[in-house]
Amino acid sequence: MQGAASKPVFSWRYLLVWLLAGVCMASPLSAQQRNIALNQLQSGLDFSGAEVQSLQADEFANPGNIALDTGNKLWSKPDGKSNKSCQSCHGDIARMKGISARYPAVDKASGKLFNLEDRIRQCRSKNQKASVWPYESDELLALSLAVTFTSRGMPLQAQIEGAAKSHFENGQRIFTTRQGQMNLACTNCHDQHYGRKLYTDPLSQGQPNAYPLYRIDWQRVASLERRLRFCYTGVRAEIPPWGHTDMRDISLYLMWRGQGLLVEAPAVRK
């Protein structure tokens, strides 16, 4: 496979021309068909500049460390009417190793597909009897990052069979379906044109293995759902409400699509 640096400069204008001409129409995928072979998967870090890569690798200067430290403190902090902490039930946070690499996952009690933030919100409400942190709140992302950090270096291992199968299939459908005023599908950019430049930055494969991560342009830690919503805005499509099942479904498909990539935390992107 050619490296990202060897691919020609790509512009949004040219992409629109090709799309309107029908040159890069997305073909329907059969169940579990991969457009990118497992041995060709690349983390978004591979498409980042040297400065971003250096910043992520710096154990001291990495801007995600502040949220990571906050999350570790929240893990052991009693809260709610139960006056319990996460540690009260689960023990040391290191015992969470491998957990984040398996989410999203179906919650047996409700039958719903949960991402890691959903699970934290449920635990706060059900077990701690505490107020539920809003989506994308600093506390929720910090604790999610701290749990994810315990799985750093482990491969993604999504479960897509059984109760998760319908969610996976819907996520795959969303990823390959054109939508919005731009009439684009996720696959058009992240399967067919990754590595080519959109203005000054190369398109990545759209892999989920580093979330939640610190985005420099947003000056904060952000979830995968926020990044997906940003993409919806980019193609001028209607954005699902926060926590919508479609967002969980496409996240599950992305985790399967990136199967084997290693968890990065705390990760940094431009």
**Residue 252 to residue 257: CA distance in whole angstroms:** 9
The two beta strands, 105-106 and 113-114, are antiparallel
How far apart, in Å, are the Cα atoms of 163 and each of 101, 139, 250?
Answer: 18, 30, 15
Establish whether 86 is a catalytic residue: no
Tell the burial category of 238 from Cβ atoms under 10 Å away from its Cβ (0-12, 13-18, 19+).
exposed
Residue among 24, 86, 89, 231 flagged as catalytic: 231
Answer yes or no: are the C-beta atoms of 178 and 171 closer than 8 Å.
no
Q: Dihedral of the CA atoms 17, 18, 19, 23 (nearest 10)?
A: 150
At residue 268, the 3 state secondary structure works out as strand
**Neighbour count for residue 23 (Cβ, 10 Å):** 10
Which amino acids are annotated catalytic? 231
